[in-house]
Amino acid sequence: MSLKIALTKGRIEEPVIALLSAAGVDCEPLKNKKRKLIVNTSDEKYEFILAKGPDVTTYLNSGVVDIGIVGSDILTEHRNNQYELLDLEIGKCQFVLASTEDFDINKEGRRVIGTKYPLITQKYFESLGQDVEVIKIEGSVELAPLIGLADAIVDITETGTTLRENNLYIYDYLDKVSTRFVVNRMSLKQNAREIYSLVDRLEQVIKANN
Ligand SMILES: Nc1ncnc2c1ncn2[C@@H]1O[C@H](COP(=O)(O)OP(=O)(O)OP(=O)(O)O)[C@@H](O)[C@H]1O
Ligand SMILES: O=P(O)(O)OC[C@H]1O[C@H](OP(=O)(O)OP(=O)(O)O)[C@H](O)[C@@H]1O
């Protein structure tokens, strides 16, 4: 039986495929998948399921996949009780609190914060002892302070280009983010040898890359 791996579609897909290939996984079918969402390697050792990050955690929790490859931002926001085996050290970025130049971080009163990550945002402000209103936004979060929807945002930044091009400034740094290799606990018991063998090979490639 092949190991089922839920792989987050989009930005991290390409570097993950490069990493898996270097670790000896036959990724040619994945590279040529077009719009296919379930892709088997030719040797049938692995079956890849392409999904959005939050759905990767749902699949892991429900046990329909053995392994998930997903950002730590998603793992933190969408609580999961699975087992994180490896930091793949790709998709590296960081959560920040950002706003326009005139944002007064110490101003009295309840602030409105726009974010794709309401739980992380709520926890951050709780840790500061501040009560805020959090508005969930699905994308282009940087718009929120520019159009008067929010006083500030909590979002991910990597190069800083999006913030810069929209005249936004960083007021605080929160957690760092990277892509993680996560397993379903039950599956780890049943497929320990295969899973640890893949982890060992990935670890070697990561070490060699860094
Ligand atoms: N700017 C970034 N730089 C590096 N990694 C990022 C960045 N933004 C997000 N990531 C990581 O990549 C993962 C996937 O992000 P991606 O933008 O592909 O999907 P998404 O957040 O669902 O957005 P979309 O709805 O545009 O597809 C995120 O969960 C995060 O771990
Ligand atoms: O610091 P940078 O390198 O500019 O990256 C930051 C951007 O990347 C992410 O957005 P994404 O590309 O996922 O698009 P989205 O706005 O649709 O969420 C994040 O939400 C920022 O907008």
Per-residue exposure over 173-201, b if at least 16 CB sit within 10 Å of its own CB, e if not:
ebeebbbbbbbbeebbeebeebbeebbeb
210 SS3 class? coil
Give domain 93-176's CATH superfamily. Periplasmic binding protein-like II (3.40.190.10)
Ligand 2 centroid vs 141 CA: distance in angstroms?
Answer: 8
ipTM over 0.85: yes
Amino acid at 179: T
Counting ligand 1 atoms within 8 A of each CB, the residue from 11, 50, 162 with the most, and so the one to mutate, is 11
Residue with CA at minimum distance from ligand 2 atom 15: 139
Question: Is 162 exposed, middle or buried, given 0-12, 13-18 or 19+ CB atoms closer than 10 A?
Answer: middle
Counting ligand 2 atoms within 8 A of each CB, the residue from 156, 161, 177, 179 with the most, and so the one to mutate, is 156
Q: Report pLDDT digits (tens) over 67-116.
A: 999 999 999 999 777 799 999 999 999 999 999 999 987 788 899 999 99
- pLDDT value at residue 152: 98
pTM over 0.80: yes
What is the architecture of the domain spanning 3-91+178-209? 3-Layer(aba) Sandwich (3.40)
- Say yes or no: do domains 3-91+178-209 and 93-176 share a fold: yes
CB 154 within 8 A of CB 121: yes
Question: Domain residues of the chain, as ranges?
Answer: 3-91+178-209, 93-176
CB 189 within 8 A of CB 108: no
Question: Is 131 exposed, middle or buried, given 0-12, 13-18 or 19+ CB atoms closer than 10 A?
Answer: exposed
**Measured between alpha carbons, how far is 208 from 80 in angstroms, rounded to an integer?**
30
